[in-house]
Chains A and B, each alone.
Chain A
Amino acid sequence: MADITKSRTDTPTLWVERVHPAVWALGLVMLFMPAFANGFWLFQVFGWTFILGMIALSLMFLAGYGGMVSLIQMTVAALGGYGVAILGPSGVAQISLGLPWWLYVPLAIAIAALFATLVGALAVRTEGIYTIMITLAMASAFFYFTRQNYGIFNGYSGFNLVVPPQLFGVDWRQPVPFYYLTLGCAALAYAAVVYVARSPFGLALQGTRDNPRRMAALGFNVTAHRIAAYTFAGAIAAVGGILLVWQNAQIAPGTAGLPAVFDILVIAVVGGLRRPSGAFVGAFIYVLLRTFSPDVLTAFGLSNERFKMLIGFGFLAMVVFSPDGVLGLWDRWRARAGRRDPLTGKERG
């Protein structure tokens, strides 16, 4: 009832005005990035950021809205990549089926989402740290399986020469097209997560996160909501995985090895698990570290292979000092700044 009276008194605002100006600025910068960034930045830094961001976004959706920290997301992404390599054309002609792109891309996403659903169906039987353990065990089982299996996954060497299809006469592995491809996919995934989080399904999912027993008493099927969340997150991760394969042009068991699995968790946690934008912030930080830490380490006289230690220590520091990630730091800084009076600089009462 209160809402009706409120809407009558308030002047209606356009949705354009409700978005923060900084977001518009960021969107414009992203859109016109190719005008002032070179190919390396577009392809290697931003392309990779958007891809890892999408995979981390799927983890953020499960962990932030569903309360399920799943370490299977990188594996689902890798399965999507393997799906493209196996169903579509690749350098390993005796395994790859070479289907047309409009068939193998949806099929790869569907297979990966189905796999995520199955894993979810097993994982939702457990809670909290048990979920981590079980998804981690399944992720490493997938890694060892792809390494042993030569019939389908081509074992240790994996697949090479997996490139995106030449659609509309554009080579999608060129920096500018690839930048827009990943930007578009990432934006779609972001919008989908934001939309689903506000839909009845997303609200019910957040309800099961906060109090599963009460939601069950209200008549919601908690298990089904959780499994559906795995399916949705799996589809997003699969798109990220396909783009990752197209970027590297190859896929091997190491793509879904435990270091990669942990990296996705690191990205999501460093960015912050509360909001979808955290995944991309974390991915950007990770990619910057990954790309430029060798130079920094060499400058300090260390071997440039020690970047993993740097990332590990960064993650440790983040978990110890700010469990809700960079965005949490930002929120707290804003809250502290907001309490100060802008004129006198003293804290408000």
Chain B
Amino acid sequence: MQRYIQRNPVWSAVLALLLAVLLWLVLAPWSQGMEDVLGRKRVFLNAVFSGITLGALYFLVASGFTLIFGLMRNVNLAHGSLYLLGGYIGFEVSEATGSWLLAFPVVFVLIAVLGLLLQHQVFRRMEGQELRQTMVTIGLSVVLADVMLWIWGGQSYTIFLPDWLSGPMTLPIISGTGRGGEVVYLKFPMVRMAILFAAIVIGVAMWLVLNRTRLGMLIRAGVDDRDMLTATGIRIQYVFLAVFCFGAGMAGIAGIVGGSFQSLSPGEDTRFLLASLVVVIVGGMGSIPGAAIGALIIGLAEQIGLVYAPTYSVVFTFLIMAVVLAFRPQGLLGR
């Protein structure tokens, strides 16, 4: 951080200014003139907060994707299918047991075992052949999508939330003034704040594991130079298995989260595959903080675009990706 500021003072100043403007827009009450230009503050705030929570969901999906990619150079194009499968299984578990929380460990273990099998039985056989691995994941995604269509059909599912998560909560942020001049605070769905909180906790935990533990050290070393790590006598296959397990499990969990505040239907796997791809391209391949920043940017762009320019919101996402590719092909935090 400090090194970055020292090296790029101009860019740091621009970024800090942008951040300050955004904060001011969120925190300060808007004057009449501003509401005329930008529309109601409530709409803007809702877009910003939806964008941040959508970014949190994208982060949950993309963090596993970026870890797998960074370590194994395996573009797992079946990642979206793992997400959707996790969502469906979570739906079944929470329907059968009536417990929303129980779905998380069950799905994590099941999808992680599936990931384990994939890595151990399929990808390990064609190690170093990146293109072939990628094609295998495409074949798997085609097969998995059809299996899921077979079992769960074409209709859309929503996972029911427990009572303590449904309903709105009031945030200490001013959304506007009422008729009598009293201050109105922003109301926002409880579940989205919970998702945001969970994503932050998971992100911090991942950062701690990566930076403070032996396993994390192995993973970082493997991302930097896999051959050298193998040469030092580390059994890298176990590290691969652990990372693939974890990445797949995260995708499954994200499926429950996505199925709870959005819905699950056959097209969702490609939607989240696209989201992970763009997040990872923007943020930088193999970098967890990069995935967080990329997810935040893409989530915000998508939601703000949806509010202010409905037909072109996809174009914003695409433009961001193109600009990043044009000026920083390795991604914002990639090396």
Contacts and interface: CB of A to CB of B under 8 A. Distances in A.
A316 B75 contact: no
A136 B77 contact: yes
A262 B136 contact: no
Nearest to A303: B150
Contacts of B122: 320
A149 interface: yes
Contacts of A262: 138, 141-142
Given A309-B143, A323-B132, A134 B311 contact: no
Among A133, A137, A138, chain B packs the most CB atoms within 10 A around the CB of: A137
Contacts of B150: 303, 305-306, 309
Interface in A130-179: 130, 132-134, 136-138, 140-141, 144-145, 148-151
B274 A140 contact: yes
B75 A132 contact: yes
A309 B134 CA distance: 18
Given A308-B146, A316-B139, A316-B140, A128 B314 contact: no
A309 B325 CA distance: 35
A81 B110 CA distance: 43
Nearest to A150: B311
Given A122-B325, A265-B135, A319-B135, A133 B75 contact: yes
Among B75, B146, B281, chain A packs the most CB atoms within 10 A around the CB of: B146
Contacts of B141: 262
Interface residues of B, number: 45
For the residues of A in contact with B, the DSSP-based class is helix
Contact of B139 (A126, A132, A259, A319): A319
Contact of B281 (A137, A144, A150, A319): A137
B275 to A, nearest CB: 10
Interface stretch (B4-12, B45-53, B221-229, B316-324): B316-324
A312 B139 contact: yes
B156 to A, nearest CB: 16
A311 interface: yes
Nearest to A118: B322
A265 B138 contact: yes
Contacts, number: 116
Interface in B264-292: 270, 273-274, 277-278, 280-281, 285
A313 B135 CA distance: 12
A289 interface: no
A257 to B, nearest CB: 8
A311 B142 contact: yes
- Which size class do A's interface residues fall under? 35 or more
B311 A312 contact: no
A265 B131 CA distance: 12
B146 A309 contact: yes
Given A141-B317, A259-B142, A262-B142, A319 B270 contact: no
Contact of A140 (B140, B270, B285): B270
B136 A133 contact: no
Contact of A141 (B77, B126, B274, B329): B274
Interface string B124-136: 0110011110111
A346 interface: no
A137 B277 contact: yes
B277 A128 contact: no
Contact of A129 (B134, B139, B329): B134
B147 interface: yes
Given A148-B310, A312-B139, A320-B136, A122 B326 contact: yes
A225 B145 CA distance: 37
B146 A312 contact: yes
A348 interface: no
B189 to A, nearest CB: 24
A125 B150 CA distance: 40
A258 interface: yes
Contacts of B158: none
15 contacts: A125-B329, A129-B134, A134-B281, A141-B317, A145-B315, A148-B311, A265-B138, A266-B138, A305-B150, A312-B142, A313-B139, A315-B138, A316-B143, A320-B126, A320-B136
